[in-house]
Amino acid sequence: MKQEGYYDDFGGVFVPSLLSERFNQKGYYNEFGGAFVPEVLTATFDELNIAFDEAKKDPQFWKDYANILQNYSCRPTPLTFAENLTRHFGGASIYIKREDLNHTGAHKANNVLGQGLIVKRMGKQRVIAETGAGQHGVATATMAAKFGLDCTIYMGEVDVERQRPNVFWMERLGAEVIAVRDGTRILKDAINAAFRDWVTNMDTTHYVLGTACGPHPFPEMVSTFQSIIGFEARRQILSQVNQLPKRVYACVGGGSNALGIFLGFVNDPDVELIGVEAGGKGLNTGYHASRLCSEDASVGIAQGYKTFFLQNTDGQMRETHSVAAGLDYIGVSPILSSFHRSGRIHFTAATDTEVIDALTLAVQKEGLIPALESSHAFVQAFKDAPHLSKHDCIIINQSGRGDKDIFTIADAFDDPKWKSFIKEKAEAYHA
Amino acid sequence: MLESYIQHQRKQKDILLMTHIVVGYPSLDDCEKIVHEMVVSGVDIMELQIPFSEPIADGPVILRANQMALEEGITVADCFDFAKRMKQKYDIPFLYMTYANIMHKYGIHQFVSRMVQDGISGSIIPDLPPEEGMDYITTLKANSCSPIFIYAPTTSDERMSMLSQHGSGFIYCVARKGVTGAQTNFSNDLDTYLNRCRAATNLPIALGFGVKDRADIEFLTGKVDIAVIGTQTLKIVEDQGVTAVGPYIRDLR
Ligand SMILES: Cc1ncc(COP(=O)(O)O)c(C=O)c1O
């Protein structure tokens, strides 16, 4: 669905207006961010900073970016009016930004294709990435296949288990998937493992970080590429209903899909921005991944940047929990920490059970299958919608599609037909 | 001061030895025995690593030691008590090696006061470059403690002199790219790099990452002031037990 000129203002006008000097001083967002990197990587970060700065100023780069997102991924993604859900709740009109329709099934493609173009400019031949839900891993493996790059994906052993369909596809796409057995064996440990690879292989290799975290310039670079979501969503809602939304909802893992959509509206003071973190088994149980809306997090420095982390009083990172692998993470984008502190973005949490319920409702009422991660945003929107005026509209960012979660969701429903199918399959492999 | 100690020792020895332990691994008791073995076998400086849950600059062996120490319940307070006791028993300089968050969480000023009280000479924080650590640098220096900075083969000459200005005590040169624990090729390439390091600083220089036997130490003698043995002693402890540490160290030079 190529639309000539649709993105003309993106790289030249919109992006420079986002994280301008007013806000971003050498990778700091108020007191958060920075680049706490081992000496051996400082030259690599200098190289990346230069490459990204040059790309940002190059109109041809933004043309290439728009082109690949339109013709290879599926941009602009629609903003769907959820008529049945709106009627069901009887309050604000509910609109859903369809990042699930990106190629590879999540917003991750926006970032990965952008970084892929940077990799080409730097002339590196290999990419590595961490992945939690596996969506970023699949997107990176896909980009590597398309651009002819070698690819290694680090994934915590626990996540390899719970997101098996994505592991299958990464390997088919030619990536090497390494199951990380250190620490808590989830997303943070995959990030550490990717850094350890990078400090050895930086000459040939670029680390495609998958979220708006890590050392500068990653938070800025990733949120810049993701801001195409908000750039589109703002235009779409204005052209579809001729008004700005009352509220915008997004789930928050590292924070890339949330920043992606929120950055489209940060300069509209009347639009309330709501980030939904993983409430796991409940904020008072200790089994969650809520950094900004729980009392369990404090400011710290890890994985190369300063932000709110779930850590103990000694500064050791705590175990986290979420039904959604992509939200099951100790840290959060320094840019979000800054907006949290300033009060511009409000944060809440959704529990695992609420998430399954919201997902079920979205499937039944709209025929949409949001990822477990994205379903967190639906939970809070569903809580709020009935209390808002019929004249208001709200937007939910559906960051990805839920196909990858088939095993987890089948378990949650204790689906008897699925279970017997799996049993038969297993027996057939045994024979 | 650390630097004058190093210069003084160098008048008597061609090369100094610095060794490393992860506090609490395999246990605090074993650590105490290891420190004893090391000091009586002639180690000149010791690095005490305060374990951290996310040690991104460390390879598999030290990473696992960090994790196991934490699983055993080692706290920062335990590490301080241990360091204090070691300093009371053994008259060599002890340094902390840890990550930025441990110091940040404790509070830089409080952390440095503890160092001063307990007689710790300096610290190595691999994820705290001077750009992020001005407060750290000034606080340590104001208390006559040494912030020790790292050179890597990827560090430019210009950056080396910047690091030298901020550092004190000595410069820790890592022999190669990568994390702790992998093989290093002690060859002429290393000479070129070490010449660059030497030219960039007047501070003594130490070389670490991959140093493991007498041949490596012989190669380094005359080229650096201090050889750093890290992962190898952990491997010795794991494979042969604590009592093997003394003979291993004595055999190095
Ligand atoms: C579909 C989906 N949504 C959200 C996330 C969370 O990441 P972020 O907060 O960076 O958008 C993930 C991460 O894996 C994901 O796969």
Taking 80 as the threshold, does the pLDDT of residue A2 lie above it? no
Contact between chains at B182 and A200 (C-beta distance less than 8 A)? yes
**Which numbered atom of ligand 1 lies nearest the CA of A255?**
9
Q: Tell me the domain boundaries of chain B.
A: 13-247
Ligand 1 neighbour A374 (Cβ under 6 A): yes
Nearest Cα to Cα of residue B123 among B107, B136, B106 = B136
Contacts of B240 (CB under 8 A, 6+ apart): none
Ligand 1 neighbour A401 (Cβ under 6 A): no
**Quick check: helix, strand or coil at residue B168?**
coil
Dump pLDDT digits (tens) for A44-60: 999 999 999 999 999 99
Residue B22 CA: distances (Å) to CA of B48, B68, B70, B237? 6, 10, 10, 12
Contact between chains at B99 and A302 (C-beta distance less than 8 A)? yes
Q: Residue B44's pLDDT is what?
A: 98
Which site among A25, A28, A40 would you substitute to test the B interface, given the most B Cβ atoms closer than 10 Å to its Cβ?
A40
Q: In angstroms, what separates the C-alpha of B59 from chain A's closest C-alpha?
A: 7
> Is B47 assigned a catalytic role?
yes
Nearest Cα to Cα of residue A337 among A251, A224, A254 = A254
Q: In angstroms, what separates the C-alpha of A190 from chain B's closest C-alpha?
A: 11
Dump pLDDT digits (tens) for A34-44: 999 999 999 99
**Which numbered atom of ligand 1 lies nearest the CA of A401?**
1
For residues A92-121, give the mean pLDDT.
Answer: 98
Residue with tokens 């700091």: A28
Q: Residue A20's pLDDT is what?
A: 60
Q: What are B49's strand-pairing partners?
A: B22, B97
Residue B226 CA: distances (Å) to CA of A15, A175, B171, B172, B220? 50, 42, 10, 9, 9
Which residues of A are less than 8 Å from B132 in CB distance? Answer: 34-36
Q: B66 or A26: whose pLDDT is higher?
A: B66
Average pLDDT, 10 consecutive residues per value, chain B (253 residues): 97 98 97 98 98 95 96 98 98 98 98 98 98 97 98 98 98 93 86 97 96 96 97 95 97 93
**Which numbered atom of ligand 1 lies nearest the CA of A135?**
16
A36 touching B (Cβ < 8 Å): yes
Taking 90 as the threshold, does the pLDDT of residue A19 lie above it? no
Lowest mean pLDDT among A125-129, A172-176, A410-414, B77-81: A410-414
Which residues of B are less than 8 Å from A39 in CB distance? Answer: 126, 129, 149-152, 154-155, 163, 174
Ligand 1 neighbour A159 (Cβ under 6 A): no
Give B75's DSSP letter. -
Asked if B149 and B167 count as a contact pair (C-beta separation under 8 A), the reply is yes
A427 touching B (Cβ < 8 Å): no
Output the six-digit token pair for B147: 């912030």
Dump pLDDT digits (tens) for A64-93: 999 999 999 989 999 999 999 999 999 999
Q: Residue B94's pLDDT is what?
A: 98
DSSP A79-121: EEE-HHHHHHHTSSEEEEEEGGGSTTSBTHHHHHHHHHHHHHH
Give B98's DSSP letter. -
For residues A382-402, give the mean pLDDT.
Answer: 98
Cα–Cα distance for residue pair B19/B242, rounded to 1 Å: 14
Handedness of CA A184, A185, A190, A196 (dihedral sign): positive
Residue B84 CA: distances (Å) to CA of B78, B113, B216? 10, 13, 32
pLDDT band at A247; cut points 50, 70, 90: very high
Cα–Cα distance for residue pair B24/B67, rounded to 1 Å: 10
Task: Work out the end-to-end distance of chain A between its first and last CA atoms, rounded to an integer number of angstroms.
Answer: 48
**Quick check: helix, strand or coil at residue A60?**
helix
Is A79-104+227-411 the same fold as A6-74+107-222?
Answer: yes
Question: Measuring from atom 1 of ligand 1, which residue has the nearest CA?
Answer: A400
Contact between chains at A316 and B53 (C-beta distance less than 8 A)? yes
Q: Residue A23's pLDDT is what?
A: 57
Q: Tell me the domain boundaries of chain A.
A: 6-74+107-222, 79-104+227-411
pLDDT band at A120; cut points 50, 70, 90: very high
**Which numbered atom of ligand 1 lies nearest the CA of A106?**
1
Long-range Cβ pairs for the range A239-242 (8 Å, 24+) = A240/A79, A240/A81, A240/A95, A241/A93, A241/A95, A241/A393
* Residue among A97, A99, A100, A108 whose CB has most ligand 1 atoms within 8 A, to mutate: A108
Q: Residue B188's pLDDT is what?
A: 83
The ipTM value here is 0.96
Mode of pairing for the β-strands spanning B16-22 and A393-398: unpaired
Of B54, B59, B159, the CB nearest to A317: B54
Looking at CATH, the fold of the domain delimited by A79-104+227-411 is given as Rossmann fold (3.40.50)
Of B67, B99, B179, the CB nearest to A196: B179
Q: Which CATH number fits domain A6-74+107-222: 1.10.260.40, 3.40.50.1100, 2.70.98.60, 3.40.50.300?
A: 3.40.50.1100
Mode of pairing for the β-strands spanning A305-310 and A247-251: unpaired
Considering chain A, what percentage of its residues have pLDDT values greater than 90?
A: 95
Distance (Å) from CA A253 to ligand 1 centroid: 6
Contacts of B31 (CB under 8 A, 6+ apart): B21, B23, B24, B25, B82
What mean pLDDT value characterizes chain A?
96
* Residue among A163, A218, A256, A372 whose CB has most ligand 1 atoms within 8 A, to mutate: A256
Nearest Cα to Cα of residue B90 among B143, B148, B44 = B44
Q: Residue A22's pLDDT is what?
A: 54
B73 touching A (Cβ < 8 Å): no
Contact between chains at B153 and A40 (C-beta distance less than 8 A)? yes
Of B54, B104, B154, the CB nearest to A43: B154
Asked if B169 and B3 count as a contact pair (C-beta separation under 8 A), the reply is yes
Which positions 195-214 of A are in contact with B (Cβ < 8 Å)? 195-196, 199-202
Using a 10 angstrom Cβ sphere, with 0-12 exposed, 13-18 middle and 19 or more buried, the burial of residue A129 is buried
Ligand 1 neighbour A102 (Cβ under 6 A): no
Nearest Cα to Cα of residue A371 among A352, A399, A396, A350 = A399
Output the six-digit token pair for B86: 């070691």
Dump pLDDT digits (tens) for A177-200: 999 999 999 999 999 999 999 999
**Which numbered atom of ligand 1 lies nearest the CA of A253?**
9
Distance (Å) from CA B221 to ligand 1 centroid: 52
Percent helix, strand and coil across chain B, each to the nearest 5 = 50, 15, 35
Which positions 22-51 of B are in contact with A (Cβ < 8 Å)? none
Cα–Cα distance for residue pair B50/A312, rounded to 1 Å: 15
* Residue among A112, A154, A249, A399 whose CB has most ligand 1 atoms within 8 A, to mutate: A399
Residue with tokens 């400086």: B45
For residues A205-213, give the mean pLDDT.
Answer: 98
Cα–Cα distance for residue pair B179/A192, rounded to 1 Å: 11
B149 touching A (Cβ < 8 Å): yes
Q: In angstroms, what separates the C-alpha of A139 from chain B's closest C-alpha?
A: 25
B130 touching A (Cβ < 8 Å): no
**What would the CATH number be for the domain defined by B13-247?**
3.20.20.70
Contacts of B38 (CB under 8 A, 6+ apart): B19, B46, B233, B245, B246, B249
Question: Measuring from atom 4 of ligand 1, which residue has the nearest CA?
Answer: A373
Model pTM above 0.90: yes
Output the six-digit token pair for B202: 């007047």
